[in-house]
């Protein structure tokens, strides 16, 4: 048998329900905050991410699935969603078509990196973006939405970390201070950090190599180099977070792994999901539109890996799990009546199952148990003659007869009433 490619995974029954729950909760929350869904192609031109995500990032240099197609064009499987959403926003003039420039996206992303718990080569993200709003209050709203998402998913013990990485006006001085502070210590760092010191010194803070941490901990902090505009902006973001009662910690090491970030950056962390403990992260990227050849518009957003969210979510309570109906029958004469009842239940938007193989009633009841049916509807010669259906409560074992014409509404009441 040909196995799945390393770093990919199948989402199977028993697990996919948790994914569906996470997606449903997220969609309802995003739309309550005024966001509209956008779906972009999985494949894009390579230059979109080279320009947008950044030539010096690990994603572009080492992780992108990029190749030349049959037409000779360089294309890539999208490694992240933000450049794609910016492209779609500009290309389709959504600024004129949307009353509020707020969008979200669900979908697979692709990065060639070492697979580990909560991280895959094909993974799935939800992505939230706001375009054209520079007020620090919108930064706080995006953080508030991210914090509300984690709470809505039932994830406990999460921690919000925030920082400001400055802007093109003040960041060069910070980068120069980093290089100066490193001095001869550069040679003590890992090979990746030695490269980062030459191309983008801020990326050094992304390093996870244990031996490098004492050197990195001693480096200057971005907050000490902010210009007046960035300092005022970050103070306003902190004030709004305080107004919302959202607990947070400022970390000078939070620079995020993408070149386009400016000013506000944030992450929400959680334990128990492997070495990569970030549930989600994001920030402001005010120069990205112009960098991709679009108009001069601001942007802020966040992305979350669905694998990590699902991993961190608690198991649903027993009462939250689906409890379907099961239709059982005795004898060939009752089979057609059972099929008709099954169809009526499904048309009434009730989940219902049936055994098609003509097995004994005992075998059918075992099947109902395996499906964790709430109620089993039984049709036999007696029920057919009386125009009734036997309804068995699978939790209590109690059984009673219901008129055939009333059984669908009776089942709807039983299921919606929450009885198990």
Residue 319 has pLDDT above 60, yes or no: no
pLDDT of 88 reads 94
Residue 419 has pLDDT above 50, yes or no: no
Q: Write the pLDDT tens digit of every residue in 266-318.
A: 999 987 555 568 899 999 999 889 888 889 999 999 999 999 999 899 887 65
Residue 320 has pLDDT above 70, yes or no: no
Q: Whole-model pTM?
A: 0.83
Q: At what angle do helices 191-199 and 171-182 cross, to 10 degrees?
A: 140
pLDDT of 198 reads 80
Q: Are 42 and 75 in contact (CB under 8 A)?
A: no
CB-based contacts of 139, cutoff 8 Å, min separation 6: 233, 237, 240, 263, 264, 284, 300
More confident residue, 63 or 77: 77
Q: Are 130 and 282 in contact (CB under 8 A)?
A: no
Residue 420 has pLDDT above 50, yes or no: no
* CA atoms of 402 and 341, how far apart (whole Å): 13
Q: Are 288 and 86 in contact (CB under 8 A)?
A: yes
* CA atoms of 69 and 71, how far apart (whole Å): 5
pLDDT of 124 reads 95
Least confident range from 26-35, 66-75, 163-172, 317-326: namely 317-326
* CA atoms of 133 and 399, how far apart (whole Å): 61
Residue 246 has pLDDT above 90, yes or no: yes
More confident residue, 257 or 371: 371
pLDDT of 417 reads 67
pLDDT tier at 252, thresholds 50, 70, 90 = confident
The neighbour count for residue 97, using CB atoms within 10 Å, is 9
Domains of the chain (ranges, CATH numbers): 16-170+226-312 (3.30.930.10), 319-416 (3.40.50.800)
pLDDT tier at 373, thresholds 50, 70, 90 = very high
* CA atoms of 98 and 287, how far apart (whole Å): 21
Residue 263 has pLDDT above 50, yes or no: yes
């Amino acid at each position: 048998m040909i196995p799945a490619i390393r770093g990919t995974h199948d989402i199977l029954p028993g697990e996919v329900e948790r994914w569906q729950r996470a997606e449903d909760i997220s969609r309802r929350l995003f739309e309550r905050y005024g966001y509209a869904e956008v779906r972009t192609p999985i494949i894009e031109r390579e230059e979109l991410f080279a320009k947008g995500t950044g030539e010096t990032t690990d994603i572009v240099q080492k992780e992108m699935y990029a190749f030349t197609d049959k037409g000779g064009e360089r294309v890539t499987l999208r490694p992240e969603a933000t450049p794609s959403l910016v492209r779609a926003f500009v290309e389709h003039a959504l600024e004129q078509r949307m009353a509020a420039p707020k969008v979200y996206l669900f979908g697979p992303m692709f990065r060639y990196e070492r697979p580990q718990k909560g991280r895959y080569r094909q993974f799935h993200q939800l992505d939230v973006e706001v375009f054209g709003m520079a007020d620090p209050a919108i930064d706080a709203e995006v953080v508030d939405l991210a914090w509300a998402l984690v709470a809505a998913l039932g994830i406990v013990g999460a921690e919000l970390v925030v920082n400001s990485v400055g802007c093109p006006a003040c960041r060069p001085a910070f980068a120069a201070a980093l290089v100066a502070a490193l001095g001869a210590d550069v040679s003590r760092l890992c090979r990746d950090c030695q490269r980062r010191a030459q191309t983008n010194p801020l990326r050094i803070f992304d390093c996870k190599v244990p031996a490098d941490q004492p050197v990195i901990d001693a480096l200057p902090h971005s907050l000490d180099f902010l210009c007046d505009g960035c300092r005022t902006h970050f103070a306003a973001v902190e004030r709004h977070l305080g107004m919302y009662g959202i607990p947070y910690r400022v970390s000078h090491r939070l620079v995020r792994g993408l070149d386009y970030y400016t000013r506000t950056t944030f992450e929400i962390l959680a334990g128990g999901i492997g070495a990569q403990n970030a549930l989600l992260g994001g920030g402001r990227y005010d120069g990205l539109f112009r960098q991709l050849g679009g108009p001069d518009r601001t942007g802020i957003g966040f992305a979350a890996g669905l694998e990590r969210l699902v991993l961190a979510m608690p198991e649903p309570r027993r009462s939250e799990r689906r409890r379907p109906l099961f239709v059982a029958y005795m004898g060939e004469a009752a089979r057609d009546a059972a099929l008709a009842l099954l169809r009526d239940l499904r048309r009434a938007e009730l989940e219902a199952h049936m055994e098609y193989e003509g097995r004994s009633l005992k075998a059918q009841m075992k099947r109902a148990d395996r499906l964790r049916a709430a109620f089993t509807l039984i049709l036999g010669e007696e029920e057919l003659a009386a125009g009734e259906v036997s309804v068995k409560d699978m939790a209590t074992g109690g059984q009673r007869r219901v008129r055939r014409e009333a059984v669908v509404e009776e089942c709807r009441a039983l299921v919606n009433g929450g009885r198990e």
